[in-house]
């Protein structure tokens, strides 16, 4: 449901739209029961999709509704209708204080009178333990009767995690508002909730805030009312933020008519050290009562000041986002000391959720913009460009299904992989152009000399191509096939000829080797062992991750030599859990981008065919994956990641008792369980022999465990075991992902290499009658669902034409469920017989939660026997993928060195 004039939300008739901001749309509405006008604030969809966050908000909103004061705009209640959730508030007519200040300074008597009423509102809230945290002229209304109303009291906190009083707590559950996160060196991440120019110094550093932050903001607002100037105005937003920490606060700019008592009060409100600041806003209210008694501000316009207010920023969030635009902008040309190192976080940027998973983002070489893979509520998927001095991210048309974006040296073009091609696009829009074939790319780098190096597939060497297209040539070779299955994620050095790459051993969690190679040929040089590809960072370092923490090591780009030892950046720097990808990107200006996603557990939900929640298994909040219902539908097998990297175990859930039992206890990897046809056994992937093999064990917890067959292929995942056949996928050195067929109960017969091609064939699912196999393949340039006959694969059907992955047969074999490229759940009717016929694909419901299904190679759902219910794994943090920007990573390094 979308609101429009004339529509209804419960008893409220929508009249017209008043505005839109980070906290949602605001509408004027008519309360038809009480015959009064109200303001309706519609909560953002990304926010309401998080049930836990919404529940916390509703509890906090009830506390805010208890505020009853003539200078506070009241909250009447919460309303929900047709999936729209909204906050019903008092409608306050009249201009905002920001609009009035556009005319210049207020007369001193009016300014003091307005400030006194603001102080009364703050005092009432503070006595109830509520801090505004976002006080600014835009949140102050002036009624035609001369009264002051403070808006949005406490809403910033209400939309944040429950109990998030500290920076450390806030980073574990980032805000869903469009405000970024900013932190100071030596602290953990904390959410900045106000416009930058009105934040207290401790708020700007990401430290916990209390009522003294409101006192600071009150002082800034009062000073601006009396002077008509911006206290922290500068030529750039980064300098504005720097001024909060360093610029002298001059009371000499106040008009001569301002009484000394007001000057003294302002000085105490604007103490940078909160320990020396005015401790209670009530003291300010008392001080302001003296000079002019209890006069009300003029209800009409004020005289235009001869010192007009400077050009104002009509937005809030961009004040913080613009930090990275200047790269090392903190090194501004002013005599003040170097301000603290700052970080900020992009989370649910401008309504576009950031896709989790490898290679989903990169910062431009000039440090002015970020590209990320994302999607929005309108169903647009692909690449988004976030200009770091703008509020809203822009979708790049024509980049659907994009992966692994990387920048051109000019920061105006971006390359990426999509639909079997390496492609390029201008950040200003226009036609997307194909550069060359790349069936399933795994990273690339655009050099200063005009060449692109890239990994065209999941196996094989690095290739090179001119930026304009043309012949493709291999520039590395798999010199030791026993220890490297692919080369991937290349990264150029500054000369645009030499590059780094990772030689992947194909063993999952094992470290690969990082090599230095050149487009001009010659022997490669081994640099180090790592699970993630390093990047080069000026003025001479390699930066990568060890144990999910960023480290740096001095590196001479001329000689290609490392020196010293890896040094960890300070503990506050977030890690990145994805392996065998670059852990970060860095600009020439020193701005560092780190994608983060902290696992907080997985819900196990039951959905109906319309995507409605009809149940939930009350399991411990582990990180579950790969759900498989038993043949009789009474049990659910999953695996859960352990506390360390490379640890996972099998679990079985009894659906009647809703009790989970752990089946495996090995120190390594046990994952991807599938049921035997009789439901007595589970086949699964394990690394117990040092390679990823397929083993089988009893589903009841007892009995021996054994390997299904002997093989030299290192990577195998079983996907389906039906009617005597077990289908699994492997990664082959020559052909990439292939599908094999095994008959486990027929003795020592070797598996059959069923489907092999240069394309990637994955997700094999056997039909209930054992006659057909559905699978995914990107042979057409994008992933589609196909079906072949068993056991020979001689008959083949293409089921989808608009993209599809993870096919799952209904238990009757008359439907195929699958996931679309936009992460919706869809189905297609199957008409069985000697030959098959397929109906038109039909979407059952859209992506069930922000980011669901992204960044994973496995199905997160299974279907009951009757096809009416879907069990679905929903990671709790799927809507909170974040991108952390550190404005000066060298200062970060200096901070970690100083802490030693």
Q: Mark residue 154 as left, alpha or beta (left: phi above 0; alpha: psi -120 to 50; beta: remaining).
A: left
CA dist., res. 868 & res. 887, Å (int)? 51
Q: Active site residue: 134, 152, 366, 376, which one?
A: 134
CA dist., res. 745 & res. 676, Å (int)? 10
Q: For residue 460, what is the DSSP state?
A: B
Which secondary-structure segment (H or E) carries 896? helix 889-898
CA dist., res. 21 & res. 100, Å (int)? 20
Structural tokens at position 12: 């409220």
Cα dihedral across residues 751, 755, 756, 761: positive or negative: negative
What value, to the nearest 5°, has the Cα angle with vertex 889 and ends 884 and 895? Answer: 110
Across the strands, what pairs with 851?
none
CA dist., res. 656 & res. 676, Å (int)? 20
DSSP letters, 713-762, are ---EEEEEEETTEEEEEEEETTTEEEEEEE-GGGSSPPPEEEE--SS-EE
Three-state DSSP class for residue 561: strand
Is 134 noted as a catalytic residue in this protein? Answer: yes
Q: Any idea which residue has 């740096």 for tokens? A: 552
| 436 and 444 Cβ atoms separated by less than 8 Å | no
| 641 and 647 Cβ atoms separated by less than 8 Å | yes
What is the arrangement of strands in the sheet containing 403-407, beginning at the earlier edge strand? 403-407, 413-418, 421-426, 433-437
DSSP letters, 491-547, are EE-TTSSEEEEEEE-SSTTS-EEEEEEETT----EEEEEESS--EEETTTEEEEEET
Q: What is the largest CA-CA distance in the chain?
A: 99
| CB-based contacts of 338, cutoff 8 Å, min separation 6 | 330, 331
| CB-based contacts of 305, cutoff 8 Å, min separation 6 | 103, 104, 105, 228
Burial (Cβ within 10 Å: 0-12, 13-18, ≥19) of residue 522: exposed
| Percent helix / strand / coil, the chain, rounded to 5 | 15, 35, 50
Three-state DSSP class for residue 470: coil
Q: Helix axis angle, 108-127 relative to 211-227, nearest 10°?
A: 170
Rounded to whole angstroms, what are the CA distances from 722 to 630, 698, 769? 11, 17, 8
Calculate Rg over the CA atoms of the chain.
30
Tally helices (H) and strands (E) across the chain.
Answer: 13, 60
Residues noted as catalytic: 134
């Amino acid at each position: 449901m979308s609101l429009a004039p004339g529509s209804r939300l419960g008893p409220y008739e929508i009249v017209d739209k008043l505005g839109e901001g980070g906290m949602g749309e605001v509408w004027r509405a008519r309360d038809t029961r009480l015959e009064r006008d109200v303001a309706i604030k519609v909560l953002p969809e990304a926010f309401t999709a998080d049930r836990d966050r919404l529940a916390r908000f509703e509890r906090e909103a009830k506390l805010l509704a208890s505020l009853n004061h003539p200078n506070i705009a009241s909250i009447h209640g919460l309303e929900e209708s047709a999936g729209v959730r909204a906050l019903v508030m008092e409608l306050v007519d009249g201009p905002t204080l920001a609009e009035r200040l556009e005319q210049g300074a207020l007369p001193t008597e009016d300014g003091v009178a307005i400030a006194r009423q603001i102080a009364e509102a703050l005092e009432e809230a503070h006595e109830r333990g509520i801090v505004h945290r976002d006080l600014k002229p835009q949140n102050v209304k002036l009624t035609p009767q001369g009264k002051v109303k403070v808006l949005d009291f406490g809403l910033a906190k209400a939309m944040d995690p429950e109990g998030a009083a500290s920076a450390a707590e806030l980073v574990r559950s980032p805000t869903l508002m469009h405000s970024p996160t900013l932190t100071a060196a030596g602290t953990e991440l904390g959410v900045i909730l106000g416009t930058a120019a009105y934040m207290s110094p401790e708020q700007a550093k990401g430290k916990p805030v209390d009522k003294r932050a409101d006192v600071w903001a009150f002082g800034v607002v009062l000073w601006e009312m009396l002077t008509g100037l911006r206290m922290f105005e500068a030529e750039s937003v980064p300098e504005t933020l720097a001024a909060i920490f360093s610029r002298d606060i001059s009371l000499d700019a106040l008009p001569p008519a301002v009484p000394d008592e007001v000057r003294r009060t302002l000085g105490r409100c604007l103490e940078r050290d909160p320990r020396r600041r005015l401790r209670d806003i009530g003291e300010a209210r008392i001080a302001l009562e003296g000079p002019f008694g209890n006069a009300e501000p003029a209800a009409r316009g004020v005289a235009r000041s001869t010192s007009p207010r400077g050009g104002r920023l009509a937005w809030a969030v961009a004040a913080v986002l613009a930090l990275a635009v200047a790269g090392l902008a903190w090194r501004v040309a002013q005599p003040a000391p170097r301000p603290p190192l700052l970080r900020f976080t992009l989370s649910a940027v401008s309504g576009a959720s950031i896709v989790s998973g490898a290679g989903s983002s990169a910062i431009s070489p000039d440090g002015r913009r970020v590209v990320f893979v994302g999607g929005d509520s309108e169903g647009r998927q692909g690449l988004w460009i976030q200009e770091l001095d703008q509020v809203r991210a822009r979708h790049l048309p024509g980049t659907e299904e994009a992966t692994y974006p990387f920048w051109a040296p000019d920061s105006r073009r971006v390359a990426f992989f999509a639909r079997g091609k390496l492609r390029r696009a201008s950040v200003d829009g226009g036609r997307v152009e194909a550069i060359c074939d790349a069936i399933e790319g795994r990273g690339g780098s655009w050099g200063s000399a005009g060449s692109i190096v890239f990994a065209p597939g999941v196996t094989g060497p690095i290739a090179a191509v001119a930026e304009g297209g043309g012949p493709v040539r291999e520039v590395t070779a798999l010199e030791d096939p026993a220890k490297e299955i692919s080369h991937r994620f290349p990264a150029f050095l500054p000369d645009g000829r030499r590059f780094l790459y990772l030689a992947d051993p194909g063993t999952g969690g094992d470290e690969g080797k990082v090599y230095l190679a050149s487009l001009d040929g010659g022997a490669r040089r081994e640099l180090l062992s790592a699970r993630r590809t390093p990047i080069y960072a000026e003025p001479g370092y390699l930066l990568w991750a060890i144990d999910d923490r960023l480290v740096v090591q001095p590196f001479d780009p001329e000689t290609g030599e490392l020196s010293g030892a890896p040094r960890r950046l300070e503990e506050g720097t977030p890690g990145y859990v994805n392996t065998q990808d670059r852990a970060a990107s860095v600009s020439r200006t020193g701005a560092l981008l780190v994608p983060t996603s902290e696992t907080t557990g997985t819900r196990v939900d039951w959905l109906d065919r319309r995507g409605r929640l009809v149940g939930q298994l009350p399991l411990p909040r582990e990180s579950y994956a790969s759900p498989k219902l038993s043949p009789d539908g009474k049990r659910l097998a999953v695996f859960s990641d352990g506390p360390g990297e490379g640890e996972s175990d099998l679990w079985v859930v009894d659906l009647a008792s809703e009790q989970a039992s752990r089946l495996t206890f090995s120190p390594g990897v046990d994952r991807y369980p599938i049921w035997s046809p009789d439901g007595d056994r589970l086949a699964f992937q394990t690394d117990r022999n040092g390679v990823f093999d397929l083993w089988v064990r009893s589903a009841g917890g007892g009995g021996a465990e054994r390997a299904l067959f002997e093989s030299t292929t290192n990577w195998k995942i079983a996907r389906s075991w039906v009617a005597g056949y077990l289908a699994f996928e492997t990664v082959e050195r020559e052909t990439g992902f292939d599908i094999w067929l095994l008959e486990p109960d027929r003795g020592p017969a070797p598996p059959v290499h069923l489907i092999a091609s240069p394309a990637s064939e994955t997700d094999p699912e056997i039909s209930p009658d054992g006659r057909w196999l559905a699978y995914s393949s990107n042979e057409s340039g994008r992933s589609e669902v196909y079906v072949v006959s068993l056991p020979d694969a001689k008959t083949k059907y293409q089921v989808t034409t608009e993209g599809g992955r993870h096919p799952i047969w209904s238990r009757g074999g008359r439907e195929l469920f699958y996931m679309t490229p936009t992460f919706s759940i869809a189905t297609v009717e199957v008409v069985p017989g000697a030959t098959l016929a397929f109906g038109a694909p039909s979407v059952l419901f859209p992506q069930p939660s922000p980011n669901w299904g992204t960044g994973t190679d496995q199905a997160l759902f299974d279907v009951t026997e009757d096809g009416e219910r879907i069990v679905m794994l929903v990671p709790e943090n799927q809507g909170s993928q974040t991108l952390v920007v550190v404005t000066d990573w060298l200062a970060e390094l200096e901070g970690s060195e100083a802490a030693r």
